Amino acid sequence: MSAATLDRSWSRTAPGRPTRLGRAGALGRRAWPALILTLPIALLVAALGFGVAAWRTALTNRAIAALQDGRDVAVAPAADGALLLARTQFLTLRGRTEEAEAVIEALERRGDPDRVARARYALANARLRGAFGHLERNDLDPAGPLVTLARQDYRRALQAKPDFWDAKFNLDVASRLIRDFPDFDRKSGDELKAEPKKIWTDIPGQPRGAP
């Protein structure tokens, strides 16, 4: 190696001239204090986020438990899907179908097909129970619309969850009622002469009721 080449090589690494490694080390030393200050803040923010999420989950679980115990709890349309379903089941078991419809609409906007299917199934059961109640009292005129609405809700449940066997079964029950009482589809208001008590022997099952 010539003296000129050695001199040029030495000049690139001579003391006093910072190398790339040296510059990176200097930057790291300057950034370290800022990192020490920022890291605890980031950890605190993350802990607060987890804490808020856990608090909301606890509130949701308590509200669901209260509804399942039969206590009426108001639920906002933006509530968790599980809570909206619990509210729907609470209302339908008590025949409050109009209120349940509003809750189901909020649930449908969340795009949760499984819970929508279960909510529609609960609503359909409530309507079919109401229809059977009218039939057992020989009060046939109000039964027809309830059976028709129940069929619609069972179909909507199956649209959301095609393999929902319970909804298929109860849809068949409602459809048999329509076949046994064709005047349900008419608007003439003629009195039906079929014996209501025969329904229970002609239909292979009853609506299960519980969602």
Between 35 and 210, whose confidence is greater?
Answer: 35
C-alpha count within 13 angstroms, C-beta hemisphere, residue 89:
20
Whether the CB-CB separation of 116 and 104 falls below 8 Å is answered with yes
Rounded Cα distance between 205 and 97, Å, is 23
- Kindly list the distances between the CA atom of residue 90 and the CA atoms of 85, 119, 153, 191, in Å, as whole numbers in the listed order: 9, 10, 17, 34
Q: 208: closest CA among 154, 156, 159?
A: 154
Mean pLDDT, rounded, of the chain = 75
Kindly tell me if the per-residue pLDDT of 23 is higher than 70.
no
How does residue 104 score in pLDDT terms, banded at 50, 70 and 90? very high
Residue type, 41: I
pLDDT of residue 201: 36
Res 181: pLDDT? 75
Q: Is the pLDDT of residue 171 over 80?
A: yes
pLDDT: is 15 or 197 the higher one?
15
Is 111 exposed, middle or buried, given 0-12, 13-18 or 19+ CB atoms closer than 10 A? exposed
**Which range (33-47, 72-86, 135-149) has the least confidence?**
33-47
Q: Is 128 a residue whose pLDDT tops 90?
A: yes
Q: In this model, does residue 32 exceed pLDDT 80?
A: no
Write the pLDDT tens digit of every residue in 5-18. 444 444 444 455 55
Question: What pLDDT digit, counting tens, does each position of 41-72 carry?
Answer: 655 565 565 555 554 667 788 989 999 898 99
- pLDDT at residue 74 is higher than 50: yes
Please report, for the chain, the start and end positions of each structural domain, with discontinuous segments joined by +.
Answer: 18-73, 74-211
Asked which of 11-15, 24-28, 122-126, 133-137 is least confident by mean pLDDT, the reply is: 11-15
Cα–Cα distance between 176 and 110 in angstroms, integer? 33
User: Among 76-85, 154-163, 166-175, 182-191, which stretch is predicted with the lowest mean pLDDT?
Assistant: 182-191
Taking CA atoms, 117 is separated from 9, 102, 108, 155, 165, in Å, by 77, 15, 9, 9, 11
Q: Which amino acid, residue 25?
A: G
Residue 203 corresponds to which amino acid? I
Instruction: Give the residue carrying structure tokens 């030495």.
Output: 10
* Alpha carbon distance, N-terminus to C-terminus of the chain: 90
Q: Is the pLDDT of residue 94 over 90?
A: yes
Residue 194 pLDDT > 60, yes or no? no
